[in-house]
Structure 1
Amino acid sequence: MSDIEKKQFDRVTKTLKQWQDREEWFFNREYTDKYEHYYETRYKRAEIWQKKTLAKLIKKDERVKTLLEFGCGTTRFTRWWNEIGIDASGADISPFMLGQGAHLFEGDLALADSHHMPFKDNSFDALAFIATFAYYDDPVKVIREAVRVGKYGIIFGIMNRNSTKVVRRRIQEVFNKNEYYRTANFYTPDSLIEKVEEALEGRLYKIEWTATGLPKWFPMQQWGFPIGDFFALHVKLTDVE
């Protein structure tokens, strides 16, 4: 990072305190500095199955060669898309998360708001939202932006509201023990599909989803039932060549 870029970065971090008229954990270095550590420790097994679930869906659309991950954070998943043969770029609203991602990821990164994506129409084959869609104040607008920029559709990876861990997290929030999910709006597959249907009225598309995230002793780790900590949902646009 050049001296000019560092000054610009420092200026943004000093002035950007809120987003969507509320405080968010990803503007607080106390929390963003721990993000990669969580995936390397307590969430390592969950991450493995989340990636398997995402890959199973997105690879079915052979048109997808390039992808933009919005809310890419430290690029934890952005780095992984390349491992399954997809050329990925990232964007995020948090300068702290991107500051870490810039040291870990060799691809393109942008500081941007998902509600106003600074990209031309059809810039990428697909858009991805991994563990971030729950934070958007206007999800319908974000979906419409996503299909404008992503020609063939969207892949979501999202925490499932039908999970006992969501109850635990809400209890933690009451006692100020969990800042990560204080402003999150969790979805089920059905409630996310409702947002997609509202956003894409008049478009032709197919939706497929798969859930994961039950205890490791459970005999299955991927299934088509709306239970578990996480689900991946793919919106495949079929009205484009």
Structure 2
Amino acid sequence: MEIEKSGHGLIPKQQQNWQNRAEWFFNREHTDTYEQWYEGRYKRAEVWQKRIMENLVATDPRVKSLLEFGCGTTRFTRWWQEIGIEATGGDISPFMLSQALHLFNGDLVMADSHHMPFKDHSFDSLAFVTTFEYYKDPVKVIQEAARVGKYGIIMGMMNRNSPKVARRRIQQVFGKNPFYVTATFYTPEKLIGIINKALRGRNYTIEWKCTGLPHWFPVQQWNLPVGDFFGLYVKFNDVA
């Protein structure tokens, strides 16, 4: 097995180039400080992100357990547990999961979200929080999520309809922001189109809500497709 140094650690070369591209979450220079992002300038944003996702999941009382793929250090996975949902975490990055082992008291798995190592309907729901942006085959990932998650899929992600997207891309040009180089930003409309393609033939409903609005704005969540972040829930109506 060919090994290369990545950041401050060693990682198999083929995994470092997951999806045939270098990803920031295989570099310890970035993963070791991941938790700090949410404890600093992103703390307020996290509060509203969690609020809208909790409200969306609460519309489906069948959801008692979930698998969060792309769980990272389990920042949100731990929160699912706190609000009463039995959570399991999955991620492709050993650097992220090595931290998660010390932060999370639930089950963890290292795997590729395109090939989830679980039987059909192993969980009530699947969750993707600021990770779906990195999948090269989003249709396949949604189909896997629908196979493993019985009742629905909860998603939270950066919104393409945000001034911050332009700022991030400009930062990348000057080598200042490595975190979104391989990311694809979606609008609610664009994501729903992909979901409809992946779930053709299924009976489901979709609800979504945006947040990530300026702190001085009179509302902090709404059903307009503008804001730095949106949450979306796919509810399957064809299962009991």
Q: Deviations over 1:182-215 (max 9, x none)?
A: 0000000000000000000000000000000011
Q: Secondary structure at the match of 1:115?
A: coil
Q: Secondary structure at the match of 2:220?
A: coil
Q: Deviations over 1:129-152 (max 9, x none)?
A: 000000000000000000100000
What is residue 204 of structure 2 aligned with on the other side? 205
1:13 shift after superposition? 5.5
Residue 194 of structure 1 aligns to which amino acid in structure 2? G
Q: Deviations over 1:68-124 (max 9, x none)?
A: 000000000000001111000000000000111111000000000000000000000
Residue 34 of structure 1 aligns to which amino acid in structure 2? T
**Take 1:214 and 1:195, find their aligned partners in 2: how far apart are those partners?**
25
**Take 2:108 and 2:124, find their aligned partners in 1: how far apart are those partners?**
17
Residue 196 of structure 1 aligns to which amino acid in structure 2? I
CA contact (8 A) 1:13 1:95 kept: no
Residue 53 of structure 1 aligns to which amino acid in structure 2? I
What is residue 182 of structure 1 aligned with on the other side? 181
**Take 1:120 and 1:12, find their aligned partners in 2: how far apart are those partners?**
28
Residue 221 of structure 2 aligns to which amino acid in structure 1? Q
What is residue 107 of structure 2 aligned with on the other side? 108
Q: Which runs of 5+ in 2 are unaligned?
A: 1-8
Residue 66 of structure 1 aligns to which amino acid in structure 2? S
What is residue 94 of structure 1 aligned with on the other side? 93
What is residue 68 of structure 2 aligned with on the other side? 69
Which portions of structure 1, spanning 4 or more consecutive aligned residues, are displaced by more than 2 angstroms?
10-16
**TM-score scaled by structure 1?**
0.94
Q: Deviations over 1:131-183 (max 9, x none)?
A: 00000000000000001000001000010000000000000000111000000
What is residue 157 of structure 1 aligned with on the other side? 156
What is residue 6 of structure 1 aligned with on the other side? none
In the alignment of these two chains, the number of paired residues is 232
Q: Which runs of 5+ in 1 are unaligned?
A: 1-9
What is residue 191 of structure 1 aligned with on the other side? 190
Residue 156 of structure 1 aligns to which amino acid in structure 2? M
CA contact (8 A) 1:173 1:179 kept: yes
1:16 shift after superposition? 2.7
CA contact (8 A) 1:73 1:97 kept: yes
What is residue 84 of structure 2 aligned with on the other side? 85
Residue 141 of structure 2 aligns to which amino acid in structure 1? V
Q: Secondary structure at the match of 1:91?
A: strand
1:12 shift after superposition? 5.2
**Take 2:79 and 2:59, find their aligned partners in 1: how far apart are those partners?**
17
Residue 204 of structure 1 aligns to which amino acid in structure 2? N
**TM-score scaled by structure 2?**
0.95
Alpha-carbon RMSD across the aligned residues, in angstroms, is 1.1
Spell out the pairing of 1:52-63 with structure 2 (5 A cutoff).
52-63=51-62
